[in-house]
């Protein structure tokens, strides 16, 4: 690491109108902690000491770098942080994932607040969002919650501009968000409705997170009404930032294949392009599609995903854009009786952790609010499954904060008071244990059930059933129970497809 004197000399030579010069100076941050940055003694003119690590202080580590490394006074200007170079400084974190010890982006990247209570620019390329994301100096630090925020290590620094393809998708995302705002429907926004650029919720408390909308809603009868909406910010999604971390800053080769090119997106949106690729095969049976791509027909569950990938033109299991956007592909098979058998697993449950969650910060709400699904539908006709079509879907806010919240709350309350396990002996002699967590009959949208292939329990009297360490998790009262997950009901999935003419 350069000494304090050497860095101050480099700062004096820094050309703030040149992005490359800014990046070269910033590379000296690699390996430093934020405390070491403070120890450099760099301050802007008129500097007033502040606690950058305080949660109440807006800007945090990014402002620390602006003032105590680059030596300029932080502000809330809508322009880029280095306006002459058009470069925005963004400090963001990554975590080390427990299961495989791999780095993973820890958060979305907030670009600018969404002005619900004033007119909004409908041209992406003249908006504040474009000003903030066209060239970003990304500073990634490793987040370790066990140590002080000032002692976190900075690991990666790079000047980053989204690719031409990504910018076209981001621009379409911007236009979609703006269309909701201008229609007075900002209260219906969620991160899951767009691809890379999301509308992330903001607001420290429930009371402070709501604002009036500037644009009214026009009702079917022509009257106008206004709704309050949760404060939100234009943000690059966490999944997108994870891709940027691995493939732009860490230099890893991407195993995923892209589906779209800039040329494809010159005349249609990302969603339109994907849907067109699938719709080209509508009416074909799964066997015919497999034969078309030279695949031996197996009829097993894995092959359905393979068929979708081939129709999209990729050989892997998940296109690059889907990985960057957090889009989950789900193939749905509708039987000749018009029903679909399979429920959709969404979020595994950690019984003890669930008790400490609030709904707004819960894993279940975060997952459904942030993620999108791509349903590809086959229907059984004359003994064969034929492709009906496809659709992108994200859960409506009314469903998320309505029935899904109720399911989550009932699960939390059941675990808190103690899950009831009732032994049931089946005709084959097998003993199972039924529980009183919310089931499909209790909720129109979601339910709780096990996902583990095998059941396992450690009961109050010491009785052990199955492989507890592998297939169960501890309950707060000391018992262990088969791992459970939140699921979306198959009937709810069918209702979504019905509303889009895909049943």
Residues 121 and 243 in one domain: yes
Residues 389 and 407 in one domain: no
Last residue of a domain, one of 249, 273, 308: 249
In a domain, 359, yes or no: yes
Neighbours of 60 (CB within 10 A): 16
CA dist list (Å): 358 to 206, 355, 475 = 11, 8, 18
Angle between helices 164-182 and 270-279 (to 10 degrees): 100
d(CA 158, CA 249): 6
| Residue 188 near residue 156, CB atoms below 8 Å | no
373 forms beta bridges with: 328, 393
* 136-142 vs 88-96, strand pairing mode: parallel
d(CA 389, CA 307): 13
d(CA 466, CA 261): 50
The residues, ordered by sequence, that sit 6+ positions from 125 with a Cβ below 8 Å of its Cβ are: 171
Ramachandran quadrant class, 283 (left: phi over 0; alpha: psi -120 to 50; beta: rest): left
Residues 351 and 474 in one domain: no
d(CA 9, CA 500): 63
Neighbours of 353 (CB within 10 A): 11
Residues 409 and 386 in one domain: no
Neighbours of 453 (CB within 10 A): 6
Residues 100 and 29 in one domain: yes
In a domain, 215, yes or no: no
Number of domains in the chain: 3
d(CA 329, CA 338): 21
Residues 366 and 458 in one domain: no
**Which residue stretches of 39-82 are H helix?**
60-68
SS3 per residue for 293-360: CCCCCCCCHHHHHHHHHHHHCCCCCCCHHHHHHCEEEEEEEECCCCCECCCEEEEECCHHHHHCCCCC
In a domain, 471, yes or no: yes
Tens-digit pLDDT profile for residues 106-149: 999 999 999 888 999 999 999 999 999 999 999 999 999 999 99
Residues 342 and 466 in one domain: no
In a domain, 477, yes or no: yes
Residues 417 and 384 in one domain: no
Tens-digit pLDDT profile for residues 143-181: 999 999 999 999 999 999 999 999 999 999 999 999 999
Q: How many residues comprise the chain?
A: 503
Residues 106 and 14 in one domain: yes
With CA atoms as reference, report the closest residue to 287 among 376, 382, 386, 375: 386
* This prediction's pTM: 0.91
| Residue 180 near residue 189, CB atoms below 8 Å | yes
In a domain, 212, yes or no: no
CA dist list (Å): 162 to 136, 268, 291, 323 = 9, 19, 38, 16
Last residue of a domain, one of 249, 280, 309: 249
Q: What is the dihedral of CA 48, 53, 55, 59, to 10 degrees?
A: 60
The residues, ordered by sequence, that sit 6+ positions from 263 with a Cβ below 8 Å of its Cβ are: none
Classify residue 245 by its DSSP letter: I
CATH number for position 159 = 3.40.600.10
* 327-334 vs 372-381, strand pairing mode: parallel
Residues 242 and 269 in one domain: no
Residues 148 and 38 in one domain: yes
In a domain, 159, yes or no: yes
d(CA 461, CA 398): 43
d(CA 124, CA 167): 10
Domain span at 462? 403-490
Residues 99 and 10 in one domain: yes
In a domain, 55, yes or no: yes
Could you list the mean pLDDT of each consecutive 10-residue stretch along the chain, which spans 503 residues? 74 91 96 95 88 76 93 80 93 92 94 91 94 96 93 96 96 97 93 95 67 90 90 95 95 90 94 97 96 91 90 90 94 93 94 95 93 95 94 96 97 97 78 91 96 86 92 95 96 95 85
In a domain, 148, yes or no: yes
């Amino acid at each position: 690491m350069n000494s304090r004197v050497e860095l101050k000399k480099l700062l004096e030579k820094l050309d703030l109108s040149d992005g490359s010069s800014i990046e070269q100076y910033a590379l000296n941050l690699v390996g430093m902690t934020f405390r070491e940055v403070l120890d450099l003694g760099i301050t802007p003119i008129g500097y007033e000491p502040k606690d950058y690590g305080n949660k109440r202080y807006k800007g945090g580590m990014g402002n620390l770098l602006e003032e105590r490394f680059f030596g300029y006074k932080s502000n809330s200007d809508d322009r880029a942080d280095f306006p002459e170079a058009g470069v925005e400084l963004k400090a963001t974190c990554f975590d080390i994932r427990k299961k495989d010890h791999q780095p993973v982006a820890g958060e979305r990247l907030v670009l600018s607040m969404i002005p619900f209570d004033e007119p909004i620019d409908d041209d992406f390329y003249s908006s504040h969002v474009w000003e903030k994301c066209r060239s970003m100096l990304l500073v990634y630090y490793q987040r370790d919650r066990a140590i002080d925020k000032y002692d976190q290590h900075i690991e990666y620094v790079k000047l980053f501009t989204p690719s031409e393809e990504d910018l076209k998708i981001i621009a379409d995302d911007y236009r979609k968000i703006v269309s909701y705002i201008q229609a007075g429907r900002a209260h219906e926004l969620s991160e899951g409705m767009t691809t890379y650029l999301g509308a992330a919720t903001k607001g420290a408390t429930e009371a402070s997170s709501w604002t009036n909308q500037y644009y009214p809603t026009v009702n079917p009868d022509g009257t106008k009404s206004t709704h309050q909406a949760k404060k939100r910010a234009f943000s690059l999604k966490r999944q997108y930032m994870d891709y940027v971390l691995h493939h732009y800053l860490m230099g890893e080769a991407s195993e995923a294949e892209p589906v779209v090119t800039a040329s494809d997106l010159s005349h249609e949106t990302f969603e339109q392009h994907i849907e067109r690729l699938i719709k080209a095969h509508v009416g074909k049976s799964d066997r015919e599609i497999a034969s078309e791509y030279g695949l031996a027909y197996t009829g097993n569950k894995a092959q359905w995903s393979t068929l979708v990938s081939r129709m999209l033109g990729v050989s892997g299991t998940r296109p690059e854009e889907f990985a960057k956007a957090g889009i989950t592909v789900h193939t749905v098979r509708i039987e000749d009786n018009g029903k679909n058998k399979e429920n959709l697993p969404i979020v595994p449950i950690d019984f003890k952790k669930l008790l400490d969650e609030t709904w707004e910060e819960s894993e279940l709400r975060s997952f459904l609010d942030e993620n999108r699904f791509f349903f590809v539908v086959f229907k059984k006709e004359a003994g064969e499954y034929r492709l009906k079509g496809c659709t992108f879907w994200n859960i409506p806010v009314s469903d998320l904060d309505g029935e899904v919240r109720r399911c989550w709350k009932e699960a939390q309350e059941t675990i808190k008071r103690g899950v009831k396990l009732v032994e049931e002996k089946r005709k084959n002699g097998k003993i199972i244990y039924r529980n009183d967590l919310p089931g499909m009959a209790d909720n129109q949208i979601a339910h709780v059930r096990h996902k583990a292939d095998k059941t396992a329990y450690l009961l109050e009297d010491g009785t052990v059933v199955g492989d507890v360490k592998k297939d169960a998790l501890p309950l707060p009262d000391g018992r262990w129970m088969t791992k459970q997950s939140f699921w979306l009901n198959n009937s709810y999935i069918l209702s979504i497809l019905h509303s889009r003419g895909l049943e």
